[in-house]
Structure 1
Amino acid sequence: MSDAADRGRPRGAPPFAAHEWMIAWRYMRARRREGGISVIVWYALVGVALAVGTLIVVMAVMVGFRAEFTDRILGAEGHVKFYAAPVRDANGNVIRSIEDYDAMTARVAEVPGVIRAAPMVEAQALVSKGSANAGALVRGERLEDLRDLPYVANPEEALGALDDLPRGIAIGWGVAQELGVDVGDRVSMILPGGQTTPFGTAPKVKGFEVVYIFRIGRTDVDKTRVYMTFEAAQDFFNRGDAADQVEAIVEDPQALGSRASRSEFDQRLAAAAGPRAIVWSWKDANGAFLSALDTERAVMFMILSLVVLIAALNIISGLVMLVKNKGRDIGILRTVGLTQGAILRVFFLCGAGIGTLGTLIGVGLGILFVIYIDPIFDVVNFFAGGGIWDPEIRMLTKFPAVLRWEDVASAAGLALALSWFITFFPARKAARLHPVEALRYE
């Protein structure tokens, strides 16, 4: 008897054999009146797909925000700046300017990894046209150095020519709109307390022609930035033959550190700049914001992981009902020779199949959404009446999204791991169902 029973068991069948896949497929496509779970399967499938797709889209948008913001920072600014530590002269006046800016510039430019270095004058002034006024951050740089700033030389939109800067000034798009000026118009630049007269100090006023209007897509720059030549800025701001700072562009901006943790590259730059030099990198100026974006991205991933978990839990509901409805079938399968492991694998394939198919659909939906996010967002913005995307709040003029395959893999891996893990428990319960108990009331 024992020998006959052993001969009847498929003991030679390997795990996940063809008959196990066949039984799992029959259970999955069975109609509800036959004891199937088709409706619940669809609910679980859609839930997992939407959760995975949402996670991919959110991660792409978060990464896109950081990448776009970083790109626009590095495209309109020097990557690292060198200021002079303040000292007092014989008369007790505080001196912050850099007298030997050409020598400092040459030393910094010789550091391996530096693309170029340039002196700069930077100050605030009031720009006016008629009754309209705008506060501006004025920077004086040499024309050849401005051509090395991608978003200044080749911005999103531009009027006029940057090469005409020696005979005028370049202003941001927002400044031009606030003043109501166009290329060729003249504006007045006012420096409070800029000149000394027999009656005391008085504002210094000088007219400039607008020769170039640029829009880089960062409202904090477009609404405040004004450029002029280095020599013109020295003259207008009474710098004499001195500079306010030296800025440098490097090959790898990410190699720069922050004040909290200076890198070896920072130390080489500081040594080249000289003992009075204060190093200020782009991470010092924007590190808090970038850290906030990184933290927000990590938090969003954890929160949306809970959404994926909730969607995956629907699989348990379907499997529990399937095990309950298929109790008679389990007893018969065990009687004809299927082992506990085979029963476990059958029901595991049912749940894992739902999770896997839902994950694949979610990955496809997420990728398509990211690819066509601009037209989708335009449609949403249209039906919402416009105004959803305010560049003055978000600082960027476009909706950024960057699809990274490591993020797609993380989302898919998370969904698969959760759906396969939770599937094990109802499958294990089905495997432990005793044949006698399953057939007692049949």
Structure 2
Amino acid sequence: MANTPPPFARFEWMIAWRYLRARRAEGGVSVMTWISLVGITLAVFALIATLAVRSGFRAEFVDTILGANAHVTVYAQTQQDEDGRTRRSFPDFAERAARVAEVAGVTRVAPLVKGQVMATANSRNAGVEVFGIRAEDLAAIPRIVDPETGRGSLDSFGVQPDAPAFTIPDIVEGDDVPDDEADAEGDEGIVPFDMPQATGIAIGSGVARELGIGVGDEVKLISPDGVRTAFGVSPRVKTYPVIYIFTAGRYDIDRTRVYMPFDEAQLYFNREGVADELEVMTTDPEQVEDIALDIQQAAGAGAIIWTWQDASGAFLRALEVEDNVMFVILSVLVLIATMNIVSGLIMLVKNKGRDIGILRTMGLTEGSVLRVFFICGAFTGVIGTLAGVALGCLFALYIDPIFAFVDYVAGGGVWDPSVRGIYSLPAKLQVGDVLSAMALSLGLSFVVTIFPARRAARMNPVEALRYE
């Protein structure tokens, strides 16, 4: 008995290749093949580009949260002070911070003083949120202290400048003070008066742009909760020099945040000896829920914790749902593109009916005929998938110049950071996304190819040659 050739033998590949490159006059369907190829390429490109943007948007969103905000925030329960005002602060913040820092997985604990004030400069106003923080804790925030995006220096942050001797006029009426006494106190009734200068602050780039200021300029902060007098509470107004301007990458952070030295913030907001909250950083923010209970227990009685996932969990869940829906929709798009392979193969089988009959009478088995036409369809799917993957990866890698070109053609304003929170459209290529897109496209291409290939394999050679 003659040896049976193995599946996908060389002659099967040769026949399939001849059918693929055949001209239309020879019964080929090269036009349909090209249509199928382009359709699969565009579908896979759209799928990979969408997955890359999705991954990039989530990564950028999470990175800006974790790079400029606490992974876990420890609050105090609401209390009333001796004046009857509601307070949420820790008088023993140092002890609580030391206990939280000992929890496994915690990398840093920073006490904060926070308050909302009005910033004004150059006849412009902006509402900002002041974070009172120690210099060493501010230096550990990666999105804030970034030499590539920051301007200025934080070397003098929290350092009280030398207080030069200022002079103020002595309060005198007429010539009641003799000239010799005036000379003893100072020329022309002027007495020395030491007035400490304000320490420098760090502001977001959005705040600087809104107020029209830069490094070295001064900004006036106005707090409505100032000094209590016999006539009520008077606003507290103080001018600070700007020593550093940061860009965290989030519009809402850059537009509203100001960092002030911790000791200065305690004085400015009447928080002497207390901290409003504790900012906790962890080694694995994605698994912060695993140590949240330990942090709360270490913080002690009256402590309330709030993780970054609690603050942004709804948005992240919405992103996840949207990702799943988009993947399903684009999967249908890939399926529609692969259906072109079916139509092309059906036309190929119809045009090659005489060839199939001759090959069957020469001894070609049904399995060989099925594999020949399977190779024709699968080849189109493979080439289209590879081309789509290449285009999708190039789009993700060069998304910035591509998006800049689109924005230029559209006349600008395509991406509004005040609405979307981040400054540009991000993209992040992940191996899992690329492999899932390839597996989906190749799987659908192989599956839909089987049906027309089986039709060709089951064709009766007598019926195929009856009218030849």
Q: Aligned to 1:204, what secondary structure does the other structure show?
A: strand
Within the candidate set 457, 464, 467, 1:431 is matched to 457
What is the match of residue 356 of structure 2? 330
Q: Aligned to 2:17, what secondary structure does the other structure show?
A: helix
Give distance in 2, aligned partners of 1:99 and 1:89. Answer: 12
How far did residue 94 of structure 1 move? Answer: 3.6
Q: Aligned to 2:8, what secondary structure does the other structure show?
A: coil
Give distance in 1, aligned partners of 2:156 and 2:311. Answer: 30
Q: Aligned to 1:150, what secondary structure does the other structure show?
A: coil
1:309 aligns with 2:335: yes
Mapped contact 2:68–2:143 kept (Cα < 8 A) = yes
Aligned pairs for 1:137-216 (under 5 A) are 137-154=129-146, 156-166=148-158, 167-216=199-248
Of 428-437 and 141-150, the range deviating more from structure 2: 428-437
Q: Aligned to 2:275, what secondary structure does the other structure show?
A: coil
Mapped contact 2:378–2:449 kept (Cα < 8 A) = yes
Of 86-95 and 117-126, the range deviating more from structure 2: 86-95
Counterpart AA for 1:189: L
What is the match of residue 347 of structure 1? 373
Mapped contact 2:122–2:212 kept (Cα < 8 A) = no
Mapped contact 1:155–1:216 kept (Cα < 8 A) = no
Aligned pairs for 1:221-232 (under 5 A) are 221-232=253-264
Give distance in 1, aligned partners of 2:45 and 2:112. Answer: 48
How far did residue 156 of structure 1 move? Answer: 4.7
How far did residue 218 of structure 1 move? Answer: 1.1
Mapped contact 1:170–1:211 kept (Cα < 8 A) = yes
Of 340-349 and 392-401, the range deviating more from structure 2: 392-401
Counterpart AA for 2:143: Y
Q: Deviations over 1:145-202 (max 9, x none)?
A: 0000011111653222112222221111111111122222222211113221111122
Unaligned runs of 5+ in 2: 159-198
Counterpart AA for 2:4: G
Of 323-332 and 378-387, the range deviating more from structure 2: 378-387
What is the match of residue 3 of structure 1? none
1:296 aligns with 2:296: no
Aligned-CA RMSD value:
1.6
Mapped contact 1:156–1:215 kept (Cα < 8 A) = no
Give distance in 2, aligned partners of 1:399 and 1:163. Answer: 34
Of structures 1 and 2, the larger Rg is shown by: 2
Distance 1:76 1:181, change over 3 A: same
Mapped contact 1:164–1:212 kept (Cα < 8 A) = no
Between Structure 1 and Structure 2, how many residues are aligned? Answer: 428
How far did residue 389 of structure 1 move? Answer: 2.2
TM-score by length of 1: 0.93
Mapped contact 1:156–1:216 kept (Cα < 8 A) = no
Distance 1:164 1:152, change over 3 A: same
What is the match of residue 282 of structure 2? 250
Q: Aligned to 1:162, what secondary structure does the other structure show?
A: coil
How far did residue 351 of structure 1 move? Answer: 0.6
1:98 aligns with 2:90: yes
How far did residue 275 of structure 1 move? Answer: 2.4
Give distance in 1, aligned partners of 2:330 and 2:458. Answer: 34
Counterpart AA for 2:371: R
Counterpart AA for 1:273: A
Give distance in 1, aligned partners of 2:148 and 2:407. Answer: 22
Give distance in 1, aligned partners of 2:255 and 2:67. Answer: 17
How far did residue 11 of structure 1 move? Answer: 5.7
What is the match of residue 86 of structure 1? 78
What is the match of residue 312 of structure 2? 286
What is the match of residue 34 of structure 1? 26
Mapped contact 1:186–1:209 kept (Cα < 8 A) = yes
Identity between Structure 1 and Structure 2 (%)? 56
